[in-house]
Structure 1
Amino acid sequence: MLGSVLSGGGGRRESPLESMAKSAARSVGSSMGRQIGNAVLRGVLGSMLKR
């Protein structure tokens, strides 16, 4: 269902190139999100421990 929403709901199969591009974008996005989450968590914990 989510795949059809992302691809515009068309019934066509995506090409291997599109599949690779989506996979790369997804992994970059999740990696960046994880780094940002870790930085925020570290900042919050650091400020709490300094008191």
Structure 2
Amino acid sequence: MLSSCLYSLAMMKDWLKLEIKNLRREQMNIYASNTSVAYQKETVPS
């Protein structure tokens, strides 16, 4: 009983680590695309 509880907690911790990693990657992608768009707007003469 206790071991299965600990096991599920360990699984949840691994899952949370993965989720956080994915969130960070998404935020970095959003940040990169936003900055590249802003950079293109600045550098391209209108």
TM norm structure 2: 0.77
Return the structure number with greater relative CO, CA threshold 8 A, min gap 6. Answer: 1
Structure 1 runs (4+) deviating above 3 angstroms are: none
User: Please, which runs of 5 or more residues in structure 1 have no aligned partner?
Assistant: 1-12
Report sequence identity in percent.
3
* TM-score relative to the length of structure 1: 0.70
Aligned residues: 39
Q: Which runs of 5+ in 2 are unaligned?
A: 1-5
Give the superposed CA RMSD: 1.6
